């Protein structure tokens, strides 16, 4: 038996092993061994039910592969995510082929049951019929009869969609309902909705370089026991994101105190250690990025004092 197999075997035996093994076995390809980096992922409970979720999931607004190679790379990420014991996959009808690609990949991999699918809906011009049709279409593309989380995308449709979403939830077609934004200009409205609607989740932009949500949305969600997904944990995919600001710069020595071995781990540990945050959903199209990001939640997370130190460090060195 090779060293690699021994390590894998030991990991499977000591962790949530049975689950991991069966999930991996469900990957019909059988062309890849499980990832080497095994270890329990940090989880948090969904406030409304207590269901535990790994605190890092997958954002898929870049899941419209242009080549077979790009598609294979995304398949590898989707398979490895659930094989490692993480669940949340965030998508939306607005993300071009994302829902369709995910539906096909999950059917091929056989991991729909292990995944927690969060998609979105809008009601343009407050047209409820358009929203209803969009939900049907999402379920068809995702090849699923139930959605784990259905979110009103960027608050587009909050005047008309809630009764329908609540009805879908009561019928068991949707397990959780929520709202999203990625813009500070919508945070105040989001707080109003947290305080006036029966929500399971909100999804909001938050990172070490963009902490506005911590002033309003995050405390409101914590107080009302609403779960929180975090989008743009790295400041997005474009130039100007957190990675571009630290390019070529070393981590501070004390990053080792929280087990951060890369800038992405430094950024993610900061985000998921906020008490209101349930799951961060970084966009990832590369297996190396998934492994790096899951490693961030296999070790220590910063406490309040360390979070304050990270903020001060960022503001002194990288706040443009």
Ligand X SMILES: NC(=O)c1ccc[n+]([C@@H]2O[C@H](COP(=O)([O-])OP(=O)(O)OC[C@H]3O[C@@H](n4cnc5c(N)ncnc54)[C@H](OP(=O)(O)O)[C@@H]3O)[C@@H](O)[C@H]2O)c1
Give the tokens for residue 219: 């405390």
Which of 28, 32, 189, 286: binder of ligand X (CB under 6 A)? 286
- Strands (DSSP E) along 82-211, which ranges? 88-90, 116-121, 147-152, 174-180, 201-205
By beta-carbon proximity to ligand X, the closer residue of 203 and 278 is 203
Question: Considering the rule CB under 6 A, would residue 201 count as an interface residue with ligand X?
Answer: no
Which of 23, 53, 285, 297: binder of ligand X (CB under 6 A)? 285
Contacts (CB under 6 A) with ligand X, residues 168-187: 180-182
Question: Considering the rule CB under 6 A, would residue 119 count as an interface residue with ligand X?
Answer: no
Residue (of 141, 276, 148, 156) closest to 206 by Cα position: 276
- Given CA atoms 250, 255, 260, 263 in this order, what sign does their dihedral have? negative
Q: How far apart are CA 234 and CA 242, in angstroms?
A: 5
CB of 1 to ligand X, least distance (A): 31
Task: HSE, CB side, 13 Å, CA atoms: give it for residue 199.
Answer: 29
Phi, psi of 297 (to 5 degrees): -110, 20
Dihedral through CA 86, CA 178, CA 176, CA 91, nearest 10? -50
DSSP secondary structure letter of residue 178: E
By beta-carbon proximity to ligand X, the closer residue of 21 and 290 is 290
Q: Map residues 8-47 to x or -, x wherever contact with ligand X holds by CB under 6 A.
A: ----------------------------------------
By beta-carbon proximity to ligand X, the closer residue of 114 and 180 is 180
By beta-carbon proximity to ligand X, the closer residue of 82 and 154 is 154
Helices 17-26 and 68-83 pack at an angle, to 10 degrees, of 150
Helices 68-83 and 287-295 pack at an angle, to 10 degrees, of 20
Piece of the chain touching ligand X by CB under 6 A; list 3-11, 135-143, 225-233, 310-318? 225-233
62 touches 285 (CB < 8 A):
yes
Contacts (CB under 6 A) with ligand X, residues 262-281: 264, 281
Q: Map residues 231-250 to x or -, x wherever contact with ligand X holds by CB under 6 A.
A: xxxxxxx-----x-------
Binding site for ligand X (CB under 6 A): 59-62, 90, 153-154, 180-182, 203, 231-237, 243, 264, 281-286, 289, 292-293
């Amino acid at each position: 038996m090779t060293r690699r197999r021994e390590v894998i075997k030991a990991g499977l035996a000591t962790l949530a092993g049975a689950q991991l093994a069966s999930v991996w076995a469900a990957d019909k390809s059988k062309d890849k061994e499980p990832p080497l980096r095994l270890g329990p992922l940090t989880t948090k409970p969904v406030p409304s039910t207590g269901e535990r979720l790994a605190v890092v999931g997958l954002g898929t607004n870049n899941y419209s592969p242009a080549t077979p190679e790009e598609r294979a790379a995304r398949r590898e990420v989707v398979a490895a995510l659930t094989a490692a014991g993480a669940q949340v996959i965030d998508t939306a009808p607005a993300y071009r082929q994302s829902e369709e690609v995910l539906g096909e990949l999950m059917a091929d991999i056989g991991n729909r049951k292990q995944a927690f699918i969060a998609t979105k809906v809008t009601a343009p011009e407050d047209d409820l019929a358009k929203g209803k049709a969009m939900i049907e279409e999402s379920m068809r593309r995702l090849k699923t009869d139930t959605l784990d989380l259905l979110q009103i995308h960027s608050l587009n449709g909050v005047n008309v969609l809630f009764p329908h979403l609540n009805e879908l939830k009561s019928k068991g077609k949707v397990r959780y309902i929520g709202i999203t934004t990625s813009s500070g200009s919508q945070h105040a409205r989001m707080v109003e909705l947290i305080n006036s609607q029966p929500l399971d989740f909100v999804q909001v932009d938050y990172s070490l370089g963009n902490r506005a949500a911590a002033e309003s949305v995050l405390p409101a969600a914590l107080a009302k026991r609403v779960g929180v997904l975090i989008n743009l944990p790295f400041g997005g995919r474009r130039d100007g994101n957190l990675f571009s600001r630290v390019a070529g710069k070393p981590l501070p020595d004390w990053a080792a105190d929280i087990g951060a071995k890369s800038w992405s781990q430094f950024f993610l540990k900061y985000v998921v250690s906020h008490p209101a945050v349930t799951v961060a959903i970084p966009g990832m199209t590369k297996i190396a990025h998934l492994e790096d990001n899951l490693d961030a939640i296999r070790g220590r997370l910063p406490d309040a004092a360390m979070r304050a130190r990270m903020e001060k460090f960022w503001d002194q060195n990288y706040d443009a």
